[in-house]
Structure 1
Amino acid sequence: MNAPDALAQDFVKFSVGAGVLRFGEFRTKAGRLSPYFFNAGLFDDGAKLGRLASFYARRLLASGLEFDMLFGPAYKGITLAAAIAIELAREGRNVPFAYNRKEAKDHGEGGTLVGAPVAGRVLIVDDVISAGTSVRESIAMIRAAGATPCGVAIALDRQEKATDADGRDAELSAVQAVRAQLGLEVVAVATLADLLAYLRSGADPALEQYAPAVQAYRERYGV
């Protein structure tokens, strides 16, 4: 049995402490009743955002994935791209970043893209991949700029089956679909398996009670 991923375990502990990762009963967008909820929008102050970016930066540097710049899709990806770029620079890897506007600007510099020129191998950064819509939109913008999308970095891989247009369970998870259908590597700071390992580790005795429900959810919807 593989040893727990230390970085992922630290990230899960941090997410719980920040109130970003919660346990109970939550209805997902797909209509599933989930025993946990991960809301990256609650990394909402300087200290939490900085630590979050540090986890991304360390995971990316350890992954060996080659990229020339970061791209943050609006809106959550904007602050993520900026914060991760700062942390990568602190780690000795200085890369440019860019992001998009939701609506094109018709004055000043104009256009939908802001920041560094989008060029070379572009890494998309976001919090999670739910349906892959944001990733597809980002790919289109990156290619339209003449650059090459090379991967996606996310905080948590839920490792569960996506749903199709009719609400039925798909064969692949959203992350697997990005890899298989779009040909992009996905780097996640942590996965549902890491979350489950944390619950079972005894690191937080108050949370151990949720492990059976999370395991049952994974068995029903997991990939």
Structure 2
Amino acid sequence: MVESSYRTDFVRFSLDQGVLRFGQFKVKSGRLSPYFFNAGLFNSGLSVGRLAQFYAQALVDSGVSFDMLFGPAYKGIPLSTATSIALANHPGLNGLDVPFAYNRKEAKDHGEGGVLVGAPLRGKVVIIDDVITAGTSVRESVDIIRAAGAEPVAVLIALDRMERAGADDALSAHSAVQDVANTYGIPVVSIASLADIMGLLENDPQLAEHKDAVAAYRAKYGV
């Protein structure tokens, strides 16, 4: 699978699933965005299974050396689970059995207790999530992983919006993804990015009507 091809395939898959939509959307930052990406709409066995294959391919292609996955609650829980299955079935990994763990939002005071569920946090750990907005879940995950004596080595996400934060008159110098990479000294690997969305818009006549709006948004807020 050629890298640019699978990135474009993922954008098309997201469109087909209704996860990626074009129009006008008020996003968490308060901005009006010409596109919206809601990974929560990957909500069936078939769609999550395919999503996990894309995550696995992005991680393998990144060249990052890793021992296990960590999924921050809540979205990271099914993502870490499904991606570990996809990695086990990846043709290039010869049945590699990748452990995974995730955290609870609240500590459990019975049974095994604590905030961690799954395999013990050991070795080189990849944090897996849908997107990075403020980087809060990454910070919490890094703290949990380091407290366990393990090493966070990458963050794996579905889409990099390549977007600067802040008010229009005080935009940050970097995107949330760049800030995470700079703060923790680890790469952020994405299945696709805004650049891949733009690439599709430029090459698909059926989607051409959205190209100018997305390009203008990228010119204003992009990195």
TM-score band, normalised by the shorter chain?
over 0.9
Give the alignment's TM-score, normalised by structure 2: 0.95
Match of 1:12 in 2: 11
Match of 1:25 in 2: 24
| Root-mean-square deviation (Å) | 1.6
Match of 1:175 in 2: 177
Q: Offset at 1:28?
A: 1.3
Structure 2: runs of 5+ lacking an equivalent: none
Name the aligned partner's letter for residue 104 of structure 2. R
More strand by share: 1
Q: Offset at 1:93?
A: 2.7
Q: Secondary structure at the match of 2:165?
A: strand
Extract structure 1 runs of 4+ deviating beyond 2 A.
none
Q: Secondary structure at the match of 1:48?
A: helix
Query: Structure 1, residues 78-137: CA drift from partner, whole Å, max 9, x if none?
Result: 000000000000013321000000000000000000000001111000000001111000
Return the alpha-carbon distance in structure 1 between the equivalents of residues 87 and 173 of structure 2: 35
Contact 1:71 1:123 in 2 (8 A): yes
* Aligned length in residues: 218
> Residues 95, 46 of structure 1: CA spacing in aligned structure 2 closer, same or farther, 3 A cutoff?
same
Give the alignment's TM-score, normalised by structure 1: 0.95
Return the alpha-carbon distance in structure 1 between the equivalents of residues 172 and 19 of structure 2: 27
Name the aligned partner's letter for residue 221 of structure 2. Y
Q: Offset at 1:4?
A: 8.1
Q: Offset at 1:163?
A: 2.6
What's the % identity of the aligned pairs?
60
Q: Quick check: 1:88 aligned with 2:97?
A: no
Match of 1:216 in 2: 216
Q: Secondary structure at the match of 2:172?
A: strand
Structure 1: runs of 5+ lacking an equivalent: none
Return the alpha-carbon distance in structure 2 between the equivalents of residues 4 and 212 of structure 1: 26
Contact 1:30 1:167 in 2 (8 A): no
- Selected match of 1:109 from 112, 115, 119: 112
